[in-house]
Amino acid sequence: MRKKIVAGNWKMNMDLTEGAELVNEIFKGLPVLSEDKQVVIAPPYLHLTQTASQLTGMIDVQLGAQNCHSEASGAYTGEVSASMLKSAEVAYVIIGHSERREYFKEDSTTLGKKVNQVLSNDMKVIFCCGEPLDIRDAGTQNTYVEGQIKEGLFHLPESQLANVVLAYEPIWAIGTGRTATSAQAQDMHAHIRSVIAAQYGGDAAANMTILYGGSCKPSNAAELFACTDVDGGLIGGASLKAADFLGIIEAMADL
């Protein structure tokens, strides 16, 4: 049975004090989760060791990072490698977020290398895909997202796919307050699952966790998570307020 996950992507927010307080607040309100459910907190790099020590002994809540470099080590000033993240007890690394693709010009070749770095360091990938508004308006979103998945992931053997989580984040819904409807999310998630099935077979597709991201909040999480092919969420803005993030975790806990 595939895992359900609620992951908080803090993006470039929170200083160390604010981050520690947020994690404490989340702990205070955390519901009991069944074994097939998982929370991930992905703070900025600077927070990782602090957050890791706060998460010591927690099984339900795992540490995530928002990025890593595509090479193993070397003269890349300012960058952080996958093995460094592993040594900081990171379990999940977000790769291919639309903000990385857009602002940092990360292309599919780079993303494929990053995926390999994460997997070869025994961490899990949260691989993001999602179309901009003009593609949605043109009705070609399925082909667009399929291309992102093929280019970023299809070099992997099936044995490694179990360590990949997909996150569908329509760019027009990120931070805009404009959420995909549950029908739009379900349609795309079903399409993504069929793309995985065509390449890797039905079992791999059935076991793949596919998260929705884009203005997910306590008021819409339950409806989105109720969709057959939506296995949780990758949360931006609402992961920065304990009450909101907990509300979304509750929606997953109730499934």
Positions marked active-site: 97, 169
Q: How many angstroms separate the CA atoms of 45 and 42, rounded?
A: 9
- Could you tell me the smallest distance in angstroms from the CB atom of residue 216 to ligand 13P? 5
The least distance separating ligand 13P from the CB of residue 113, rounded to whole angstroms, comes to 21
Q: How far apart are CA 228 and CA 190, in angstroms?
A: 8
Give the residue at shortest CB distance from ligand 13P.
236
Nearer Cβ to ligand 13P (200/240): 240
Shortest gap between Cβ of 213 and ligand 13P (angstroms)? 4
247 within 8 A of 218, measured Cβ to Cβ: yes
Q: Tokens 């027009």 sit at which residue?
A: 172
Looking at the Cβ atoms of 200 and 213, the one nearer to ligand 13P is: 213
Sign, Cα dihedral of 241, 125, 68, 134? negative
Maximum pairwise Cα distance, the chain: 48
CA distance 88 to 92: 11
In the complex, the residues that contact ligand 13P under the rule CB under 6 A are 9, 97, 169, 174-175, 213-216, 234-238
Shortest separation between residue 138's beta carbon and ligand 13P, angstroms: 22
Give bridge partners of residue 95 from the DSSP assignment. 127
Task: Calculate helix-pair angle for 141-153, 182-200, nearest 10 degrees.
Answer: 40
Q: Which is nearer to ligand 13P, 133 or 197 (CB)?
A: 133
Nearer to ligand 13P, 124 or 200 (CB): 124
